[in-house]
Amino acid sequence: MRLGAVYSDTVNALYRVVIPMMGLQGLGYEVVGVRLERGERLDISPLIGCDLVQLHRISFFDGHDPIADLHEAGALVSFDEDDDMGAGTPEIEAIVGSDRFASGQKQFANLLARLPEVDLVTTPSEALADRFEEAGAPTIEVIDNYLLDRFAGTNAIGHDGFVIGWHACAEHAIDAELLGLAAVLQQTMERHECVRVVTIGLDLGLDHERYRASPNVSFDMLTRELADVDLGIAPLADTPFGRARSNVKVREYAAAGVPWLASDLGPYAGLGKDQGGQLVGDDEWFAAIDQLVNSPRAHRKQRERARRWGTAETISSMCHIWEEAFLDTLATAQSV
């Protein structure tokens, strides 16, 4: 099987195209990668001869559609989307800006219109899978985001006190606001002199000497940063955008040996104790954090479970899921 991969330089595409293809290369498959800049038109000539081409979101940014050209060249087309860019909420618009919001709505509508023409749709989200099924996608596979092998087993340098960390991009500001996370974390630091709070990529604006907001770090440095956290949090507000998120954040924490707390919401359903974490209701954040700060033994056991799970959630262990999805799609096409 000769595979094509069309992607952009984003973390989304890294998880949804680049890392899966690296895993498949490890199984012996030939992979041809084409990286696109925003708005760049896809030249399919490097992809001629591929059995299947995986497209991520950027392929639709400039208004043209490469699906027909790839089909004419004899390739099956798999499309992946991992965010609900069409989630029309005023909160999201306020965060991303009107122009980007309108662009995302248009792109997502275009995506839904083209789904009946592709051979396979992949997504890490059950909520998105439901939307794609309604739009007429012929075959849908829900496949989680898995980690690079080198992410697993990172050891902490060591520090004093108890560090609560939240790795989150700007769009998670709505989660912080709707769940009152700033007040929760402020209260936690006031109650426990040992607690420090670190956010990576999102500034909560906490007025406290034991709070630090760090800019986004490079992907390669992420687990190094997370390894020196004692508890990772993954809050999600119950919004259309939130329900369509993936659960990769808790995998990132676990790979760094960090126990986690996550919202009891769609993407985290079914995860918990065995994965080194705990699901938390909207009004339970302070109590859940407080319990782990006060219980070193429970925290230690949760850390051990997190590391065991995170070590197994790598692409070399899980790329057979992508392989089966692609092989099944090829077999179906050949039987028609």
> What was the pLDDT predicted at 18?
95
Distance, CA of 275 to CA of 143 (rounded, Å): 18
How do residues 76-106 score in pLDDT, each as one tens digit? 999 999 988 776 666 667 666 677 677 777 7
CB of 223 closer than 8 Å to CB of 154: yes
pLDDT at 188 over 70: yes
Q: What's the pTM value of the predicted model, to 2 decimals?
A: 0.90
Same fold, 2-146+315-335 and 150-312: yes
Band of residue 70 on the pLDDT scale cut at 50, 70, 90 = very high
pLDDT tens for residues 54-63? 998 865 555 5
CA 199 to chain centre: 17
Beta bridge partner(s), residue 13: none
Six-digit token pair at 81?
A: 């989307």
Residue-wise pLDDT for 201-258, tens only, equals 999 999 999 999 988 877 778 888 888 899 999 999 998 888 899 999 999 999 989 9
pLDDT of 320 over the 90 cut: yes
3-state secondary structure of 282: coil
List, in order, residues 6 or more apart from 65 with CB less than 8 Å away.
114
pLDDT of residue 21: 97
Q: What is the pLDDT of residue 94?
A: 67
Strand, helix or coil for residue 320? helix
Domain at 150-312, CATH homologous superfamily = Glycogen Phosphorylase B; (3.40.50.2000)
- Residue 177 corresponds to which tokens in the numbers above? 């606001």
- So where are the chain's domains? 2-146+315-335, 150-312
For the 2-146+315-335 domain, the top CATH level (class) is alpha beta
Inter-helix orientation angle 248-255/296-312, to 10°: 110
Cα distance between residue 261 and residue 240, in whole Å:
21
- 59 φ/ψ sector (left φ>0, alpha ψ -120 to 50, else beta): alpha
pLDDT of residue 158: 75
Q: Which residues make beta-bridge pairs with 30?
A: 2
Strand partners, 232: 165, 260
Whole-number pLDDT of residue 299:
93
Mean pLDDT of the chain: 90
